[in-house]
């Protein structure tokens, strides 16, 4: 019977269209899944979307949509991109799937009834974007240790999970399973930074927003998004909290989890502990991959440096994009991506090495032998070296894959392609062709080249499936089974295609960059017209025009939510002698408590206007990021309220 192999990606947030970094993870996991299938494993591959939480609720409100409509749209977009890049998942789970939601409720109740979850009150520092509470000592320079953003003091009645109860057991598990976390450096980080200092009980419910799975026996609370999200790995294959598990769960669990470096803690501490509490086997492995970065920095919408997979595919094709992201990413350091790097890598590896080898070999097989060559057994000086390289390649690839060193595995395949190109230079078939006595030697050379190509594309198939099928078809074959890749001389003969297509044409990098700039410009024009034009589209004004606007520093004395409005806050501000009421649309960016005591910039001579029944006597100045996120402006030094701005 085939050995089982269950593999998962992290499930992507449905907060926005995924960038090439998120997509990288899906491609990486897909390559491993395809490789394992080709090795003969019975593979089950699950991916999907993480759809609950405050951040998504806020994003939906900003887009003027209900959370469900919003996540339906983004989940469809994510699935579309995974399909576009050829992710061969067996199941695409959504955390809004009713079956998942029901199981999460049952799991929560089970853990509560058995005493692992208890009700308490939480007071701590809360990071809204990360949806995480932190203790004072966990903060870094007073900010969120994960994302570096502002945190706010918050107190909530909440349910807690007794993490500390399982800490020793988890450490023991790490010791007994040295391969559980990879790379090993991540394991040390978990032990030294989290387990050794002592695990805090984890707050596993929220009552400050609604978009989550309700705790069914206390529906003021929704289940903490990470408890909801992590359980996808078992609910998606038929886990049932009452013990009536589906067939797939019984067959495939436990899994190998492929996740990004930022969420290793959730997968190697919280998740195993939840599983221990449920009495289930722990994951076989958690591989925390590095990140794909743009220009040495994190890819983010607000930085405007986001590269999307669908754009890359439009320019370069699916397999070239797969090849780039897989080969650009070292095992434990971050990788870099830019349009220029992609174009250059395609030229260097795919056009010059792989494509060139295939096209030269097919062309010469056609030219000198009418398209068919067989092994005439006339060997020359470098044949042994070539054959050794070909026969030894797959075992090296497979060893790298066992360690999840995908880029290194690809390198081993390209070593063979390079060696074969060198073999053409060494054997100079065009000179052999001039001597009728060397005909059999020439045919042997071309047979050897065809054989090397087929061996190479068979190993490359999981990474670039369409291209490898195409390349094999050009030699009149299909990609070969892995167990044949250690041999040389497997085919009797090769009959190549009479009209081979070019696998990878050389790209003009400058031209590509020009086209990308044009695409980005067109996009930003569309964006500007959607929001009614940017500042440069406004008419020029004089200093007199500007001086008509009175701006002052205002200190927030009190602040509260405006009833029946998601976006509005009512602020009472002090500007020197005067106190005013201002209604401002910043409720999605700030909580009332966060604003109290802050000094803001206010327009004080705007005509008062009634908003939601409240007279607003000023306007707070904010900066708006491309994503729509707002941030108020504040003086660089602490200045008296009422100070004039000019």
| Chain positions contacting ligand MSP, by CB under 6 A | 10-13, 21-22, 24-25, 50, 229-230, 259-260, 262-263, 291-292, 299
Bin 11: left if φ > 0, else alpha if -120 < ψ < 50, else beta.
beta
Measured from the CB atom, is 11 or 191 closer to ligand MSP? 11
User: 374 vs 370, 437, 449, 464, CA distance in Å?
Assistant: 12, 17, 11, 27
Cis, peptide link before residue 82, omega less than 30° from 0: no
Q: How far is the CB of 25 from ligand MSP (least distance, A)?
A: 5
Scanning 289-438, the segments in alpha helix (DSSP H) are 309-316, 318-328, 339-345, 356-369, 383-402, 406-427, 429-432
Q: Cα separation of 358 and 157, whole Å?
A: 66
- Rounded to whole angstroms, the Cα distance separating 397 from 184 reads 21
Strands 578-584 and 609-611: unpaired
Nearest to 357, CA basis, from 250, 229, 504, 141: 504
Tokens of 463: 């990474």
Query: Which residue's CB is nearer to ligand MSP, number 335 or number 429?
Result: 335
- Which CB sits closer to ligand MSP, 262 or 344? 262
Closest approach, Cβ 262 to ligand MSP, in A, equals: 5
Tell the smallest beta-carbon distance from residue 12 to ligand MSP (Å): 4
**Which CB sits closer to ligand MSP, 17 or 480?**
17
CB of 130 to ligand MSP, least distance (A): 10
Distance between CA atoms of residues 147 and 128, nearest Å? 10
Q: Which is nearer to ligand MSP, 163 or 230 (CB)?
A: 230
CB-neighbour burial class of residue 423 (10 A; exposed 0-12, middle 13-18, buried 19+)? buried
Strand intervals (E) in 327-375: 335-337, 372-374
**DSSP letters spanning 161-229:** E--GGGHHHHHHHHHH-TTSEESHHHHHHHIIIIITT-PPPEE-EE-S---SPBPTT-TT-EE-HHHHH
Nearest-CB residue for ligand MSP: 260
Q: Give me the least distance between CB of 275 and ligand MSP, in Å please.
A: 13
> In whole angstroms, how close is the CB of 462 to ligand MSP at the nearest point?
20
Nearer to ligand MSP, 25 or 319 (CB): 25
Q: How far is the CB of 28 from ligand MSP (least distance, A)?
A: 9
CA 440 distance to own-chain centroid: 52
Instruction: Report yes or no: 397 and 38 within 8 Å, Cβ to Cβ.
Output: no
User: With respect to ligand MSP, which residue has the nearer C-beta, 284 or 360?
Assistant: 284
Residue showing tokens 């960038």: 19
Could you tell me which of 581, 550, 423 has the C-alpha nearest to residue 488? 423
Residue among 410 and 559 whose Cβ is closer to ligand MSP: 410
Q: Pick between residue 81 and residue 446 the one whose CB is nearest to ligand MSP.
A: 81
- Is residue 491 within 8 Å of 454, Cβ to Cβ? yes
Nearest approach, Cβ of residue 547 and ligand MSP (Å): 46
* Nearest approach, Cβ of residue 264 and ligand MSP (Å): 9
Give 24 or 369: the residue with its C-beta nearer to ligand MSP. Answer: 24
Stated as kind and residue range, the H or E segment containing 470 is helix 465-474
Q: How far is the CB of 393 from ligand MSP (least distance, A)?
A: 28
């Amino acid at each position: 019977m085939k050995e089982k192999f269950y593999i998962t990606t992290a499930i992507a947030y449905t907060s926005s269209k995924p960038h090439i970094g998120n997509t990288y993870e899906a491609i990486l996991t897909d390559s491993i899944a395809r490789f394992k299938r080709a090795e003969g494993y019975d593979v089950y591959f699950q991916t999907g979307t993480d759809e609950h939480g405050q951040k998504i609720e806020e994003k939906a409100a900003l887009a003027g949509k209900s959370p469900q409509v919003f996540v339906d749209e983004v989940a469809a977009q994510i699935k579309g991109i995974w399909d576009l890049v050829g992710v061969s998942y067996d199941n695409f789970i959504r955390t809004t799937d009713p079956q998942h939601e029901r199981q999460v409720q049952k799991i929560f109740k089970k853990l509560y009834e058995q005493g692992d979850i208890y009700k308490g009150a939480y007071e701590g520092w809360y990071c809204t974007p990360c949806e995480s509470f932190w203790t004072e000592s966990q903060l870094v320079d007073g900010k969120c240790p994960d994302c570096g953003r502002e945190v706010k003091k918050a107190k909530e009645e909440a349910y807690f999970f007794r993490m500390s109860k399982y800490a020793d057991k988890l450490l023991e598990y790490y010791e007994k399973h040295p391969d559980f976390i990879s790379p090993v450096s991540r394991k040390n980080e978990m032990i030294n930074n989290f387990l050794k200092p002592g695990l805090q009980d984890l707050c596993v419910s929220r009552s400050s927003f609604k978009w989550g799975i309700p705790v069914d026996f206390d529906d003021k609370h929704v289940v903490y998004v990470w408890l909801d999200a992590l359980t996808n790995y078992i609910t998606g294959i038929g886990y049932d909290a009452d013990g009536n598990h589906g067939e797939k769960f019984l067959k495939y669990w436990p899994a190998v989890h492929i996740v990004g470096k930022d969420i290793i803690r959730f997968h190697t501490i919280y998740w195993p502990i939840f599983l221990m509490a449920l009495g289930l086997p722990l994951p076989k492995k958690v591989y925390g991959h590095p990140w794909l970065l743009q220009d040495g920095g994190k890819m983010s919408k607000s930085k405007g440096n986001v590269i999307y997979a669908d754009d890359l595919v439009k320019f370069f094709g699916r397999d070239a994009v797969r090849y780039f992201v897989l080969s650009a990413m070292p095992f434990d350091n971050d990788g870099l991506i830019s349009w220029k790097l992609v174009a250059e890598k395609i030229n260097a590896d795919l056009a010059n090495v792989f494509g060139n080898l295939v096209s030269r070999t097919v062309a010469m097989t056609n030219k000198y032998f009418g398209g068919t060559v067989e092994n005439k057994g006339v060997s020359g000086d470098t044949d042994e070296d070539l054959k050794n390289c070909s026969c030894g390649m797959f075992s090296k690839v497979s060893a790298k894959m066992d360690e999840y060193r995908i880029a290194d595995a690809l390198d081993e395949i390209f070593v063979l392609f390079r060696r074969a190109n060198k073999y053409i230079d060494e054997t100079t078939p065009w000179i052999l062709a001039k001597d009728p006595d060397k005909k059999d030697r020439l045919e042997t050379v071309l047979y050897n080249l065809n054989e090397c190509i087929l061996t190479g594309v068979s190993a490359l198939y999981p990474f670039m499936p369409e291209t490898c099928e195409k390349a094999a078809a050009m030699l009149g074959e299909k990609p070969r089974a892995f167990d044949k890749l250690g041999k040389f001389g497997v085919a009797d003969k090769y009959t190549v295609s009479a009209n081979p297509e070019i696998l990878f044409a050389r790209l003009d990098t400058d031209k590509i960059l020009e086209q990308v700039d044009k695409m980005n410009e067109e996009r930003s024009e569309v964006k500007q017209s959607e929001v009614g034009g940017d500042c440069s589209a406004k008419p020029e004004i004089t200093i007199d025009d500007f001086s008509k606007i009175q701006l002052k520093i205002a200190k927030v004395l009190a602040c509260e939510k405006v009833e029946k409005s998601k976006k509005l806050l009512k602020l009472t501000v002090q500007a020197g002698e005067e106190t005013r009421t201002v209604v401002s649309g910043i409720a999605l960016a700030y909580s009332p408590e966060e604003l109290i005591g802050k000094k803001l910039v206010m327009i004080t001579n705007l005509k008062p206007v009634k908003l939601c029944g409240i007279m607003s006597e000023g306007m707070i100045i904010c900066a708006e990021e491309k994503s729509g996120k707002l941030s108020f402006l504040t003086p660089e030094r602490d200045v008296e309220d009422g100070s004039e701005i000019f």
